[in-house]
Amino acid sequence: MRDENWRSPSDVLLAKISTVVIDCIHIEQLELFARVGVPTSERSEPQRLILNITLWPKIAELHDDIENTVNYSAVSERVKEFARGHDYKLIETLAEETAAHLLAQFNLRKVEVEVRKFVFPDANYVSVTAVREGEAT
């Protein structure tokens, strides 16, 4: 039987921390299909892209509640919908607009979006990364 005043070492540590801060949430190799390419012929069919997304949420207190953080499942679905709904000539534009979209849709301090495109037979991929920060609150 435990003493009612007993506290675990983690309870003691958490009591000393005023708020829990999640540095970042990372979505690795999110596969999607989108129309991207400079020539019209390259945009005629959706092509496979991989996105790596890092999110820095604005969290006051977590309390083990999904409402107090960023739902990464919702982020993944929104990114896929967003990419499917647009045609881009440049993966740079896709990365930039995806980052801006995520900042507008979710409670984020910062977001990083890497877009990987598989266009060269002698290279694994070509990628660009957009890093954007939300407005200071």
Tokens of 89: 């000539």
Assess if residue 4 is contained within a domain.
no
Asked, for residue 13, whether it belongs to a domain, the answer is no
Flag whether pLDDT at 4 surpasses 80.
no
* Domain interval for residue 125: 19-133
The residue among 12, 22, 31 whose CA lies nearest residue 84 is: 31
Pseudo-torsion of CA 117, 120, 125, 129, nearest 10°? Answer: -60
Q: Please provide the DSSP assignment of 20-82 as one string.
A: -----EEEEEEEEEEEE-SSHHHHSS-EEEEEEEEEEE--S--TT-GGGS--HHHHHHHHHHH
7, part of any domain: no
**CATH number for the domain harbouring residue 87:** 3.30.1130.10
10 within some domain: no
Q: Has residue 8 been placed in a domain? A: no
44-98 pLDDT per residue, tens: 999 999 999 999 998 877 788 888 889 999 999 999 999 999 999 999 999 999 9
Whether 60 is covered by a domain: the verdict is yes
Number of domains in the chain: 1
Q: What is the pLDDT of residue 66?
A: 82
What local confidence, expressed as pLDDT, does residue 7 receive? 67
